[in-house]
Structure 1
Amino acid sequence: MKHILFITLSVFCIALLTACGGQTNETKNTVEKNVIQNDKGETTNMDNLSPLNNTREQYKMKSDMAKLDFSEIDLEVSFGEQKEYEAEINYDNSGFIGGQVDDEINNEHLRGKAAFDSIYTKVKNVTISKDTNKRDVIDQILKSFDLPADYIQFDLEIILNDGTELEYLDLK
């Protein structure tokens, strides 16, 4: 009887150790899969690319956006030497708000709430309406984002709170 109990207990322990050992490797692989490296050697945490679904954060971001003249912004500014600055705040298909910043000038790449916060602090004092002069819009955006005026291409797309879509494109 002791012999059967010993064999059964041994098999159970081996199965338990095998199951636990596999879980550790799976967790490690998941973490490694969520970090990518681009061809320039920059790393991005893929977890930050998923839509923000934290209700409290979403409420705060939507509340902040309601204070602005617009509900979405997409900015792309190209400079010489293949440098670009891109920033956007938008809503995904499920209604979650998020942000993205790809700043090749300062080598800063943000996603999600960090990107939203970065962009919001820059645009909270920007005033844009249907009647705002194109040059005034460009000057406001360049100043608020602390970007040089020697751009090659300036492209700004915004959606005003009333749903009006505006685009400002300037090539030098």
Structure 2
Amino acid sequence: MKKIITLSFAGALSLMLIGCGIDGQKKEPTVKDETPVVSENATSAQGEAKSSGAAKTEQNNDTSNQEDMLRRMDELNYAEFELEVEYAGDIEYEVELEKKSIGTVKAKIEDSLNHVEKNGTEAFDELYPLVQKLNISQQMDKEEVITEVLKTFNLPTDYTKFDLEITFNDGTKIEFEDKNK
């Protein structure tokens, strides 16, 4: 048993000497040798701090974006704009722009004509200028509204179903619906 322990000790000592160099030269530390060792817990805490910081930045951006979207929504005549246009072959163009009572803005685009799906700020940035161009009033007839919307949104006129719901800032709601066969 003593022989095994002695041999193991000698083997370990040999490996240490080889690793350190046995030619008698003193090994000078290099930058690589002086790299601090960071424990796994410290690394994890740093990662969480970075993630938390990124989440806070993203949250601040979302808040800033919401404030900007709310401000811009106040410039429109509409508090809510929902458009759904259906075409043959189960193709749809659906958009929604809504100022919520909780102080947020909902924006979405589902466009199977162009294979586009967007939500949030990205959808808002695309929809807002289009909705802003519209000059729809409660006194307009259905044909005028449909023509203006299709032209503004650059949509084909061969729809099978057209449905537009608008809620004006004063709370008045109107709906324009049309079906082509």
1:67 paired with 2:75, answer yes
Deviation of residue 81 (structure 1)?
0.9
Count residues in correspondence.
133
2:159 to 148, 151, 154: 151
What's the counterpart of residue 121 of structure 1?
A: 129
| Distance 1:147-1:153 versus aligned 2 partners, 3 A rule | same
Aligned equivalents of 1:92, 1:122: Cα separation in 2: 20
Q: Which runs of 5+ in 1 are unaligned?
A: 1-12, 28-50
- The verdict on how the C-alpha distance between 1:168 and 1:53 changes in structure 2, with shifts beyond 3 A counting, is farther
TM score, norm. by length of structure 1: 0.68
Q: Distance in 1 between matches of 2:129 and 2:107?
A: 13
State the TM-score, normalizing by the size of structure 2: 0.65
Q: Which runs of 5+ in 2 are unaligned?
A: 1-38, 52-58
What's the offset of the Cα at 1:121?
A: 1.5
The one of 81, 98, 111 aligned to 1:103 = 111
**Partner of residue 86, structure 1:** 94
TM-superposed deviation, 1:92: 4.1
The percentage of counterpart residues that share the same residue type is 35
Secondary structure at 2:177's aligned position in 1?
strand
Sort the Cα spacing of 1:76 and 1:52 in 2 relative to 1 into closer, same or farther, 3 A: farther
Q: Report the CA distance shift for 1:52/1:81 in structure 2 as closer, same or farther (over 3 A).
A: farther
Equivalent in the alignment of 1:54 = 62
Which is richer in strand?
1
What is the Cα deviation at residue 52 of structure 1? Answer: 9.8
Q: Would the aligned equivalents of 2:91 and 2:112 in 1 still touch at CA under 8 Å?
A: yes
Task: Please tell me whether the aligned partners of residues 52 and 98 of structure 1 are also in contact (alpha carbons under 8 angstroms).
Answer: no
**1:46-66 CA deviation, whole Å, 9 max, x = no partner?**
xxxxx9983332232222222
**2:70–2:103: 8 Å Cα contact kept in structure 1?**
no
The Cα RMSD (Å) is: 2.7
CA distance in 2, matches of 1:136, 1:107: 28
Distance 1:92 1:130 in 2: 21
